[in-house]
Amino acid sequence: MDDLYYILPEIVLVVTAVGILAADFVLPEDSKPNLAWPAALGTVVALGLVISFWGTERSLYNGTLRIDDYAVFFKVMFLVIGFFVLIGSPAFARRNLRHTAEFYGLILFAVVGAMAVSSARELLTAYISLELVSFGFYALSAHAKDERRSNEAGAKYIILGAFSSALLLYGISLVFGAAGTTFYVDISAQAETAAGLGPGLLMGIALLVAGLGFKVAAVPFHMWTPDVYEGAPLPVTAFLSVGSKAAGFAFLIRLFVEGLQPVMADWRDALGILAILTMTLGNLVAMQQRNIKRLLAYSSIAQAGYVLVGVPVLTMGTAAGMMLHLAGYAVTNLGAFLVVIFYNNATGREKISEFRGMSRRSLPLALMLAICLFSLAGMPLFAGFVTKFYLFSAVAAHGLWWLVAFAIGNSIVSVYYYLVVVREMFVTPSDDDEEDRKPLRIPVHSAAALTALAGLVLWIGLYPDAIVRAAENGSRAIFGG
């Protein structure tokens, strides 16, 4: 049962989740929000296990799964994400949610699903794991059941999610029909020998892109994103914005690298166009937003566009770049959301204009958000700069200048709306009521979480060697180099 050892982290999480669900029956109501701590502990344990797999390359369970540096990279990412989401949740959950034990359990299950996605080397496994992630998110989005916005978000999300998974499945069926198999390696082999499997495979790819585009919020499959981000409970939005996207990309990158590379010439331009549409629309519409959650939603769409830039030229470099950018984006966005969550907990606010004068109330909080926003904008000192630089330069290396030019141009435009938030926090004077001048007190654990994330953002921004190496190893693993 050696294979089992390598899925031990997932098992740990499942066990933790079940344990928490069980604890729900015995614990008194007001201590339930604290279940986040054992849940977080579970992610830490799993994280330790996952890291110990670094450098391993091994096929598991008849090749449906594979543990390699690529998988480890993403698993670490998901666990970190899960950890911070859990850490950031209790205060919010206490205020706004019922059934907090289930809430944490669902988060853990979603993390399990995402981890499985990153290992999966086969369409069915990957699909069903992705569904696990999605179902977690469906339930989480609608979790604030008394809130009409949360209901609406959940309804829209699950219906569109079902629609998209139908599209994805139709695509899988076509790929399966054309290649006769769902294993990436075999698909690749088929595609190589039977030069071009005709319209069937191509349409299958289009549908796969559509289905995965939904998860990563690529235009025009992004429409759910802003609504769900806005409607879902804040910690869920935080989780969603990085988890769903990263899971989708974990699926997409491995699939395209291991399975569809031989027919790359057929889909590269289409994906380039997709990337441009995604970032352009994301940025343009983000400028119009008044709600911080919606702003971050459109920003996340734009970020998906940046990552997609790497897909049309799938090489070791661009794949590493995409992974890197995702990782940077994940910590950054989480940081931003943690601040928003905290601010919302303290004040109940989420409009951008309500962030005015925040720097007067808590400079560290405002600085943290500013750091994250600058990082999202791709400013130096912060993660976003390095990861974008790496990614875009890798793409440029293959002569896709038009794509890079669009991407860089877009990142400039994006600065505008990030700056608008920064302006509200630092520049615009706060209204002169008592409430606005009260300093915010940050609980120790929130402060620790924020500091850790800020540290990560700065670490990637200032000395990214280790993480770049990790991403490169991960990328090498799927390219089999």
**Touching another protein, residues 246-305 (CB under 8 A):** 265-267, 269-270, 273-274, 281, 283-288, 294
CA distance 42 to 457: 24
| Segment interacting with another protein (CB under 8 A) among 177-185, 243-251, 322-330, 331-339 | 177-185
333 by Cβ neighbours in 10 Å (0-12 / 13-18 / 19+) ranks as buried
Instruction: Indicate whether 21 belongs to the interface with another protein (CB under 8 A).
Output: yes
Applying the rule CB under 8 A, the residues between 303 and 342 that interact with another protein are: none
Q: Site for another protein (CB under 8 A): which residue of 56, 200, 436, 447?
A: 200
469 binds another protein (CB under 8 A): yes
- What does the block give as tokens for 101? 């034990």
Minimal distance in Å, beta carbon 433 to another protein? 20
CB hemisphere CA count around 3 (13 angstroms): 9
- Angle subtended at Cα 291 by Cα 461 and Cα 131, rounded to the nearest 5 degrees: 70
Query: In terms of CB distance, is 51 or 148 closer to another protein?
Result: 148
Closer to another protein by CB, 51 or 145: give it: 145
Contact criterion met (CB below 8 Å) for 74 and 47: no
Q: How far is the CB of 135 from another protein (least distance, A)?
A: 4
Amino acid at 121: R
Site for another protein in 109-138 (CB under 8 A): 109-110, 112-113, 116, 124-125, 127-129, 131-132, 135-136, 138
Q: Three-state DSSP class for 441?
A: coil
Residue (of 262, 249, 435, 260) closest to 346 by Cα position:
435
Which are the contacts of 357, defined by CB distance < 8 A and separation ≥ 6? 425, 428, 429, 430, 431, 436, 437
Distance, in Å, from the CA atom of 304 to the CA atom of 311, rounded to the nearest integer, reads 11
Distance of CA 360 to the CA centre of its chain: 31
375 belongs to the binding site for another protein (CB under 8 A): no
Subset of 402-461 contacting another protein (CB under 8 A): 404-405, 408-409, 411-413, 415-416, 419, 422-423, 426-427
Q: Say whether residue 159 binds another protein (CB under 8 A).
A: yes
**Per-residue b or e along 223-242, where b marks 16 or more CB atoms closer than 10 Å to that residue's CB:** ebbbbbbbbbbbbbbbbbbb
Q: For residues 174 and 182, give the distance between their C-alpha atoms in angstroms, rounded to a whole number.
A: 10
Residue 385 in contact with another protein, rule: CB under 8 A: yes
The interface region with another protein, picked from 41-49, 71-79, 169-177, 305-313 by CB under 8 A, is 169-177
Contact stretch for another protein (CB under 8 A) within 31-39, 328-336, 445-453, 462-470? 462-470
164 binds another protein per the rule CB under 8 A:
yes
Taking CB under 8 A as the binding criterion, the range among 28-36, 71-79, 345-353, 379-387 that sits at the site for another protein is 379-387
CB 146, min distance to another protein, A: 7
Cα separation, 397 vs 249, in Å, equals 22
Give the span between the Cα atoms of 281 and 218, in whole angstroms.
Answer: 10
The residue (of 70 and 137) whose beta carbon lies closer to another protein is 137
Binding span for another protein by CB under 8 A among 207-215, 250-258, 330-338, 347-355: 207-215
Considering only residues 57 through 96, tell me which ones interact with another protein, judged by CB under 8 A: 60-62, 64-65
How many residues touch another protein (CB under 8 A)? 138
Query: Taking contact as CB under 8 A, which single stretch among the options 84-92, 197-205, 242-250, 335-343 is the one that binds another protein?
Result: 197-205
CB nearer to another protein: pick between 143 and 325: 143
Instruction: Judge whether 368 and 454 are in contact, CB under 8 Å.
Output: yes
Give 183's strand partners. Answer: 122
Here the tokens at position 69 are: 């540096």
Among 168, 177, 239, residue whose Cα is nearest residue 207: 168
> Residue 400: in which H helix or E strand, if any?
none
Site string for another protein, 133-152 (x = CB under 8 A): --xx-xx--xx-xx-xx-xx
Among 8, 14, 23, 45, binds another protein (CB under 8 A): 14
- Judged by CB under 8 A, the residue of 33, 90, 105, 474 near another protein is 105
Min dist. Cβ of residue 347 to another protein (A): 20
214 binds another protein (CB under 8 A): yes
Cis peptide preceding 439, ω within 30 of 0: no
